[in-house]
């Protein structure tokens, strides 16, 4: 099979890119190892353990792609406040959407919900979907690439986009260099029912082991559900995963200082090792990396897929402008425009997360004192906080057209 462009990986990021490029006269193939089927949504079903805090910029992009409607019709929880505090000190900081006259700071959405809403649109589109197709080999052939799939099929295209996640096969097979390091953290994720309402607030406590987030979910009337992301050392993760349900709920409630009362119920837990990865280049002739295939960062600020959606919006803009000018889309000069716009932003976000993580891990007394007084000092500076809130909304800096109103 031959196409103008092949996207490997139909996760949230690859699917969004396919939709952003549809109906422009490009022959597009979207290849994924999974079945790409849409599950009928059951509002009574338990929450999926993997969720994302989608920024306002991501919401705008998904609105422009006609996907947000499908997300909102399933299950989302807007949040208007963020409460962050140092568990081993007195420092705390509070952010609110109202401080920048925004309706919300973002929405907590189950990844499955975003994925299904994207797939629903893709099944109605002219994009060539190849489900159950794992990429196994990739090599240069003539002017473009030859891709071999697990089922023996071969695909050819001058341009390949890697959207196949943190362990990207495309990145490995194409020999793209990456920098990577272990955070020495595992994230335990699950959904929990609390005794007290979550107040549409994203809560984050920095503990001695790592950050613990309680993110609000839209539970049934009268029930107060949150998604938790608990980052701890691998040894502590092993201990927490081995606890029985009652002991785990007690340990979680204690680690969260019972801010939302007792943890009454907990769904099955998932444990995810956290690694930071960053490709040294996002592009070469005929190839571009997007989303987690290009960069994966600590989930403490909930930015991973938001960065991925901005990659999508910028790459689509670059490719569509190049088409209008009659340029060759696979030309590394064209693709470099995407890299120039996205790499500094992604690197800055990764550095900020790294800094935060280290600051809160540091134990010496002077660092603790600085950290606590710094948090309280910034909490009293409305202008500084408004800057941070705009960053969290994803609306600062070089915004692509798809993320503008």
Task: Catalog residues that contact ligand FAD under the rule CB under 6 A.
Answer: 8-14, 31-34, 52-53, 134-135, 163-165, 169, 187, 189, 229, 272, 291-292, 299, 302-306, 308
* CA 240/CA 141 separation, integer angstroms: 50
Distance in Å, CB of 374 to ligand FAD, minimum:
24
Distance in Å, CB of 125 to ligand FAD, minimum:
17
Could you tell me which residues come within 8 angstroms of residue 144 by beta carbon, excluding any fewer than 6 positions away?
156, 157, 158, 159, 286, 330
C-beta closer to ligand FAD: residue 52 or 330: 52
Distance in Å, CB of 370 to ligand FAD, minimum:
28
If one counts every other C-beta atom within 10 angstroms of the C-beta of residue 316, the result is 24
* CA 54/CA 97 separation, integer angstroms: 14
* Helix H or strand E encompassing 136: strand 135-141
Which residue, 6, 12, 4, 1, is CA-closest to 30? 6
Distance in Å, CB of 12 to ligand FAD, minimum:
5
* CA 123/CA 128 separation, integer angstroms: 9
If one counts every other C-beta atom within 10 angstroms of the C-beta of residue 280, the result is 9
If one counts every other C-beta atom within 10 angstroms of the C-beta of residue 90, the result is 12
C-beta closer to ligand FAD: residue 129 or 319: 129
C-beta closer to ligand FAD: residue 338 or 371: 338
Distance in Å, CB of 346 to ligand FAD, minimum:
11
Distance in Å, CB of 378 to ligand FAD, minimum:
22
* CA 237/CA 187 separation, integer angstroms: 8
C-beta closer to ligand FAD: residue 7 or 371: 7
C-beta closer to ligand FAD: residue 29 or 169: 169
C-beta closer to ligand FAD: residue 148 or 372: 148
Distance in Å, CB of 104 to ligand FAD, minimum:
14
Distance in Å, CB of 308 to ligand FAD, minimum:
5
C-beta closer to ligand FAD: residue 114 or 329: 114
* CA 217/CA 66 separation, integer angstroms: 23
Please write down the long-range contacts of 204-207, taking CB distance under 8 Å and 24 or more positions apart: 204/82, 204/83, 204/84, 204/85, 204/300, 205/84, 205/85, 205/86, 205/87, 205/255, 205/256, 205/257, 205/259, 206/84, 206/85, 206/86, 206/87, 206/88, 206/360, 207/87, 207/88, 207/232, 207/255
Distance in Å, CB of 23 to ligand FAD, minimum:
22
Please identify the residue of the shown chain whose CB is closest to the bound ligand FAD: 11
* DSSP-derived 3-state class of residue 360: helix
* CA 290/CA 282 separation, integer angstroms: 7
C-beta closer to ligand FAD: residue 13 or 287: 13
C-beta closer to ligand FAD: residue 30 or 368: 30
DSSP 47: P
* CA 367/CA 359 separation, integer angstroms: 8
Which residue, 119, 180, 148, is CA-closest to 8? 148
């Amino acid at each position: 099979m031959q196409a103008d462009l092949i996207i490997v990986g139909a996760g949230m990021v690859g699917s969004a890119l396919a939709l952003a490029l549809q109906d422009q006269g490009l022959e597009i193939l979207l290849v994924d190892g999974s079945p790409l089927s849409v599950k009928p949504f059951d509002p009574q079903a338990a929450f999926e353990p993997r969720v994302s805090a989608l920024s306002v910029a991501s919401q705008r992009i998904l609105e422009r792609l006609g996907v947000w409607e499908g997300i909102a019709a399933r299950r989302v929880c807007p949040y208007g406040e963020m409460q962050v505090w140092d568990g081993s000190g007195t420092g705390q900081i509070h952010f609110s959407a109202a401080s920048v006259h925004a309706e919300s700071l973002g929405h907590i959405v189950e990844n499955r919900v975003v994925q299904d809403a994207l797939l629903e649109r893709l099944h109605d589109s002219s994009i060539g979907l190849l489900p159950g197709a794992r990429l196994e080999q990739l090599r240069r052939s003539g002017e473009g690439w030859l891709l071999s799939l697990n089922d023996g099929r071969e695909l050819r295209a001058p341009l390949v986009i890697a959207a196949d996640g943190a362990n990207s096969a495309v990145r490995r097979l194409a020999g793209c260099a990456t920098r990577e390091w272990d955070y020495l953290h595992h994230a335990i994720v699950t959904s929990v029912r609390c005794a007290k309402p979550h107040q549409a607030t994203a809560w984050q406590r920095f503990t001695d082991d790592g950050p613990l987030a309680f993110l609000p979910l839209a539970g049934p009337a009268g029930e107060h559900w949150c998604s938790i992301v608990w980052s701890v050392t691998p040894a502590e993760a092993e201990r927490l995963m081995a606890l029985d349900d009652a002991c785990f709920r007690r340990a979680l409630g204690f680690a969260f200082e019972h801010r939302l009362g007792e943890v009454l119920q907990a769904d099955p837990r998932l444990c995810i090792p956290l690694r930071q990865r960053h490709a040294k280049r996002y592009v070469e002739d005929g190839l571009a990396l997007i989303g987690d295939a290009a960069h994966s960062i600590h989930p403490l600020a909930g930015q991973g897929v938001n960065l991925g959606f901005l990659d999508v919006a910028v790459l689509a803009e670059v490719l569509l402008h190049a088409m209008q000018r009659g340029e060759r889309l696979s030309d590394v000069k064209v693709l470099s425009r995407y890299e120039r716009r996205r790499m500094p932003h992604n690197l800055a976000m990764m550095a900020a997360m790294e800094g935060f993580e280290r600051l809160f891990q540091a134990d010496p007394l002077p660092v603790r004192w600085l950290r606590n007084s710094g948090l309280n000092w910034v909490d009293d500076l409305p202008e500084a906080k408004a800057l941070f809130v705009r960053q969290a909304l994803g609306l600062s800096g070089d915004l692509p057209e798809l993320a503008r109103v």
